[in-house]
Amino acid sequence: MLRLIGRHGPLLVAAMLLPAAAASGKHSRAGRTDGLEATGHWSHRKVGSAETPPMGWNSWNAFGTAITEAKVIGSAEVIRASGLAEAGYRSINLDDGWWLKRRASDGRMQVRTNLFPSAAVGGREGTSLRPFTDRLHAMGLRAGIYTDIGRNACSQAWSSDNPNLPEGTVAEREVGLYGHAEPDLALYFRDWNFDYLKVDACGIAHYAATRPQVTQGRFRALAPLVVDADANRSDIPAVRALYAQVRDALRRLRPANDFVLSLCNWGSANVRAWGKDFGTIWRTSNDIDPTWGRMLHNFDSVATRELYAGPGHWNDPDMLEVGNGTFDAAHPVEAQAHMSLWAIAAAPLVIGTDLTRADPRTIATLGNREVIAVDQDSAGNQGVIAYTDDEREIVVKSLAGHGAKAVVLLNRTAEPTDIMLTAAHLKFAGDRPTVLRDLWAHADIGDLGGQRSFRLAPHQALMLLARGTPERGSGLYLSEMPGRINVAVDGITALEPDPLIHRMVDPYHPGTTWTGNRPAYAGWGGPRADATPYGQDLRVAGVAYRSGLGVLANSRLEARVERGFRRFSARVGLDDSTRGTRAAVRFELYGDGRRLALSPPMRFNQPAAELTAEIAGVRVLELVVRQLGPANGNVVASWAEARVD
Ligand code: GLA
């Protein structure tokens, strides 16, 4: 398990920070590496295969390291018998606790056979999880396994009396991938035939030379590459290089790309910006637990990252707690809210409860096909925040069918509240019908009538399907297609923690006698749909815009527009909320590498300029904002009302 080291941090390595995306950039004529030149293509390459968010079950939230084959198979059998497999939950994933040791003679990983009896195959192999994966595959399911990117695991970092910790010498207890990536991954994917890999990061975070388990000689020191609460003191290039090794090995082992790679470094080291290029899914925050506050924390860690997810790559707010604690069968309102938020966020749906003991109401919540359909919608758009305050939230997810949207109305508080949903939130024409369906009540609830007020119980999330007439007719705002946008260069030059999300309370050190759990997840300043990178409304020279993309200067976004649109248009300008008021910016639009439009230099408080281009036949648009001259702070630019028709 992960524990925050907070400010009692270990000795630290120096950071070599590059702007998140600049590492892949090209050299400009001026010789700088800025990555702003149009490339003419969609540069994101999928890692593994998950056209829609992965779904399955994982042992950790249910059992911790008290994991046994019988327990895992027990939940797998319920998944099959209850219809959850048919509903999409197919990957059965082992978490921490399955391993016994790395065999001294040849480094081959050995399985704890008192927990996994079918692994006792004997002979040259000693132990093997192949019988286990064969059994899951024969059940029509997929199989997932867990490891760590360092030498040692999270369980080893945080407990010493656990009977299921790896055994033997220091070397035999080095069960992580560090120095063993190629043979371990070949074992897991070729010999054992796993399909899904979760790679934790305690091994590169919690084994500093000063840690007691290291000074006591139980583990080898590894200078931390990840400093949990401090992206600047994390060695980001080194972390990326280690995960790239895993990604590339899996691509070689599975040339058909039939795998899922789940990165688990808890939102640290700016992974929220680069995870999309290294894993199929990547954790955006610390560990969830079955409490209301922690669930919201994890949701908040993905809620503003809508432009980073899309078909094949998904923000991961961690596994579900439906069935546990605050989300058990006695708390259907909270359980439904949790499911609703994960579905609207296009999050992986990985069950984390002991299904053999699950109440039928828990199975029904997890198995709600209409809610799952929203999560699994083929357009792959993450929901975009349409309204937010400190108590209420409206999140809208554009679905594949034109004029179809899912919307979650959330009451974060312990008091009842009212939420007014308007056609404008949905970007639908208010004078045309908008038909609503309640996905938890499984009931059509009539017309929106332009706007409609809903009373929400404490902690309630209302999840609706809305069918209406888009404001744009057959066109789309770019902020309605976040799944088809790739952040190629984010324009961030200095890493900043996202101030909207405090670091979660450390359950092991919950006291308040220190300076507090300050925000810690880097990524602040990344581009946003219908908001500025710093979470403000889009506004240029006093005019507010409800739709658009907010970016920092020196950014480049790619947008897939294969669907046969004819025209791009936007109102572009320096955003009123810019920190840098003194520099000008220039907006550049490219279609398949060809420049289609260029704005004049745009200055602070200058009214937005109309930028239009014919785009018939274009496959990839590139939206570049270039800063002209030095500024007195980061420059915020708005592609207001950016749309394709
Ligand atoms: C970390 C991860 C969890 C789980 C535990 C296992 O805390 O974030 O999801 O895998 O390790 O020890």
Residue to mutate (ligand 1; options 1, 160, 198; most atoms within 8 A of CB): 1
How many CB atoms lie under 10 A from the CB of residue 327?
Answer: 27
> Considering only CA atoms, which residue is closest to atom 8 of ligand 1?
287
> Considering only CA atoms, which residue is closest to atom 6 of ligand 1?
1
For residue 507, what pLDDT is reported?
67
Q: What is the mean pLDDT of residues 218-224?
A: 97
CA distance 116 to 119: 6
2-33+477-491+526-644 topology per CATH: Jelly Rolls (2.60.120)
Q: What is the mean pLDDT of residues 447-472?
A: 97
Residue to mutate (ligand 1; options 60, 160, 207, 316; most atoms within 8 A of CB): 60
Q: How many residues does the chain have?
A: 645
CA distance 306 to 549: 11
Q: What is the mean pLDDT of residues 11-34?
A: 40
For residue 551, what pLDDT is reported?
98
Q: Which of 95, 200, 235, 289 is catalytic?
A: 200
Nearest atom in ligand 1 to the alpha carbon of residue 264 is 8
CA distance 181 to 242: 9
Expressed in angstroms and rounded, the spacing between residue 311 Cα and the centre of ligand 1 is: 25
For residue 238, what pLDDT is reported?
98
How many CB atoms lie under 10 A from the CB of residue 49?
Answer: 15
Expressed in angstroms and rounded, the spacing between residue 468 Cα and the centre of ligand 1 is: 42
Tokens of 240: 């990326």
Q: Which tens digit of pLDDT belongs to each residue from 568-585?
A: 999 999 999 999 999 999
> Considering only CA atoms, which residue is closest to atom 12 of ligand 1?
1
Expressed in angstroms and rounded, the spacing between residue 344 Cα and the centre of ligand 1 is: 24
Reply yes or no on whether the pLDDT at 19 is more than 50: no
For 538, phi and psi rounded to 5 degrees?
-75, 130
CA distance 347 to 325: 21
Nearest atom in ligand 1 to the alpha carbon of residue 146 is 10
Following DSSP, what letter does each residue of 498-511 receive, concatenated?
Answer: -TTSBPPP-TTS--
> Considering only CA atoms, which residue is closest to atom 9 of ligand 1?
287
Residue type, 52: T
Mark whether 390 is an active-site residue: no
Tokens of 28: 């400009």
For residue 563, what pLDDT is reported?
66
Domain with CATH 3.20.20.70 in the chain: 55-375
Nearest atom in ligand 1 to the alpha carbon of residue 266 is 8
3-class secondary structure, 100 = strand
Average pLDDT across the chain, whole number: 94
Q: What is the mean pLDDT of residues 14-29?
A: 37
Distance, C-alpha 78 to centroid of its chain: 28
Reply yes or no on whether the pLDDT at 229 is more than 90: no
Reply yes or no on whether the pLDDT at 2 is more than 90: no
Percent of the chain with pLDDT over 90: 90
For residue 160, what pLDDT is reported?
81
Q: Which tens digit of pLDDT belongs to each residue from 51-104?
A: 999 999 999 999 999 999 999 999 999 999 999 999 999 999 999 999 999 999
Residue to mutate (ligand 1; options 5, 59, 264, 508; most atoms within 8 A of CB): 264
Q: What is the mean pLDDT of residues 467-474?
A: 94
Q: Which residue has the tokens 């297609």?
A: 481
Nearest atom in ligand 1 to the alpha carbon of residue 153 is 12
Tokens of 161: 């009396």
Q: Which tens digit of pLDDT belongs to each residue from 172-191?
A: 999 999 999 999 999 999 99
pLDDT band at 17 (very low <50, low <70, confident <90, very high): very low
Ramachandran area for residue 6 (φ above 0: left; ψ -120 to 50: alpha; else beta): left
Expressed in angstroms and rounded, the spacing between residue 2 Cα and the centre of ligand 1 is: 6
Angle at 405 between CA 403 and CA 340, to 5 degrees: 170
Reply yes or no on whether the pLDDT at 16 is more than 50: no
Reply yes or no on whether the pLDDT at 47 is more than 90: yes
Following DSSP, what letter does each residue of 149-217 receive, concatenated?
Answer: SSSS-HHHHH-SS-TTS--SSTTTT--SSTTTHHHHHHIIIIIS---EEEEE-GGGTS--TTSHHHHTT
Percent of the chain with pLDDT over 70: 94
Q: Which tens digit of pLDDT belongs to each residue from 332-346?
A: 999 999 999 999 999
Among 49-58, 209-218, 510-519, which stretch is predicted with the lowest mean pLDDT? 510-519
Q: Which tens digit of pLDDT belongs to each residue from 383-438?
A: 999 999 999 999 999 999 999 999 999 999 999 999 999 999 999 999 999 999 99
Domain with CATH 2.60.40.1180 in the chain: 384-471
Expressed in angstroms and rounded, the spacing between residue 58 Cα and the centre of ligand 1 is: 11
CB 549 within 8 A of CB 571: no
Expressed in angstroms and rounded, the spacing between residue 1 Cα and the centre of ligand 1 is: 5
For residue 20, what pLDDT is reported?
38
Expressed in angstroms and rounded, the spacing between residue 287 Cα and the centre of ligand 1 is: 7
For residue 33, what pLDDT is reported?
53
CA distance 302 to 550: 17
Nearest atom in ligand 1 to the alpha carbon of residue 286 is 8
Tokens of 626: 């270039």
Q: Residue 38 forms beta bridges with which residues?
A: none
- Pocket of ligand 1, beta carbon within 6 A: 1-2, 60, 95-96, 154-155, 200, 264, 266, 287
Query: In the 8-state DSSP scheme, what is residue 59?
Result: S
Expressed in angstroms and rounded, the spacing between residue 151 Cα and the centre of ligand 1 is: 15
Query: In the 8-state DSSP scheme, what is residue 580?
Result: -
Mark whether 200 is an active-site residue: yes
Expressed in angstroms and rounded, the spacing between residue 348 Cα and the centre of ligand 1 is: 16
Enumerate residues 6+ apart whose C-beta is below 8 A from 375.
52, 53, 55, 342, 343, 344, 346, 347, 349
For residue 3, what pLDDT is reported?
38
CA distance 113 to 515: 45
Residue to mutate (ligand 1; options 95, 155, 160; most atoms within 8 A of CB): 95
pLDDT band at 6 (very low <50, low <70, confident <90, very high): very low
Nearest atom in ligand 1 to the alpha carbon of residue 283 is 8
> Considering only CA atoms, which residue is closest to atom 11 of ligand 1?
1
CA distances from 466 to 146, 336, 376, 494, 520 (A): 39, 19, 16, 40, 36
Tokens of 452: 């409609």
CA distance 189 to 193: 5
Q: What is the mean pLDDT of residues 232-239?
A: 97
Q: What is the mean pLDDT of residues 494-504?
A: 92
Reply yes or no on whether the pLDDT at 9 is more than 90: no
For residue 508, what pLDDT is reported?
64
Q: Which residue has the tokens 């309630």?
A: 460
CB 602 within 8 A of CB 586: yes
Enumerate residues 6+ apart whose C-beta is below 8 A from 566.
614, 615, 616, 645
Reply yes or no on whether the pLDDT at 29 is more than 50: no
Q: Which tens digit of pLDDT belongs to each residue from 92-123?
A: 999 999 999 999 999 999 999 999 999 999 99
Q: Which of 195, 235, 287, 530 is catalytic?
A: 287
The CATH class given to the 55-375 domain equals alpha beta
Query: Does residue 562 or residue 436 have the better pLDDT?
Result: 436
CA distance 68 to 58: 12
**What's the N-to-C CA distance of the chain in angstroms?**
49
The CATH class given to the 384-471 domain equals mainly beta
Nearest atom in ligand 1 to the alpha carbon of residue 155 is 12
Residue type, 23: A
Q: What is the mean pLDDT of residues 472-495?
A: 96
Q: What is the mean pLDDT of residues 289-300?
A: 96
> Considering only CA atoms, which residue is closest to atom 4 of ligand 1?
1
3-class secondary structure, 471 = coil
CA distance 373 to 97: 33
> Considering only CA atoms, which residue is closest to atom 5 of ligand 1?
1
3-class secondary structure, 36 = coil
